[in-house]
Chain A
Amino acid sequence: GQQVMQIPQYQHVQEGEDFTTYCNSSTTLSNIQWYKQRPGGHPVFLIQLVKSGEVKKQKRLTFQFGEAKKNSSLHITATQTTDVGTYFCAGSNNDMRFGAGTRLTVKP
């Protein structure tokens, strides 16, 4: 069945450094979504990508969907302590599958 792999599992950065998490699917996806879960909180929907090669930006966050619609990335420029949390991708065909998440910690 459809699987969504996400790497890295953990990432620790110094404040101001960039951060990227990657998501790969074994099958072509109809769309991919990204969520953020703050420590002690619940996952919150950030964005959805639908088109092949699509790039979307939210302030310091850049989301990309691969040309083959099998992979995606989330890049954060100049991390801040408020970026701390776990970032999940979720790939969808008929059903949505969440990746295992990347836990980001930021040292001030």
Chain B
Amino acid sequence: EADIYQTPRYLVIGTGKKITLECSQTMGHDKMYWYQQDPGMELHLIHYSYGVNSTEKGDLSSESTVSRIRTEHFPLTLESARPSHTSQYLCASSQGVAGNQPQHFGDGTRLSIL
């Protein structure tokens, strides 16, 4: 099993709050990703990183931001949560900086904004 961890697993919070979703991996992977997914549905790439100090926007327009100060850590921040942000957020990592290596996913954070 891959060593990639996400916290919290579940979060219910009110509108307007600032939220940070944590993701850490212990595999030394360079590339990391954040996806938004409604249960069992399509994966939408919202951010990715090639390595330390690298952050890129994905395909899905998002009001979130990410940072990559350390190789193992890739947190996602929502400055002001809205009900439309209710979803599951999956973090993943892959070896190397090429985009063709298998991705290892965390268990996800299920976010509900009231």
For B58, give the chain A residue with the smallest CB separation. A95
Task: Assess A96 versus B103: contact at CB under 8 Å? Given A42-B90, A86-B40, A101-B41.
Answer: yes
A31-49 near B? 1/0 per residue, CB < 8 Å: 1010101011111110010
Contact B40 A39 (CB under 8 A): yes
Task: Assess A101 versus B42: contact at CB under 8 Å? Given A92-B100, A94-B99.
Answer: yes
How many chain-B residues does the 8 Å CB contact rule pick out?
18
For A41, give the chain B residue with the smallest CB separation. B107
Q: In the A-B complex, list the 10 residue pairs whose CB atoms are closest, starting with the nearest.
A: A95-B99, A92-B100, A42-B105, A45-B102, A100-B42, A98-B43, A86-B40, A96-B99, A43-B105, A31-B100
Which A residues are closer than 8 A to B by beta carbons? 30-31, 33, 35, 37, 39-45, 48, 85-86, 88, 90, 92-96, 98, 100-101, 103
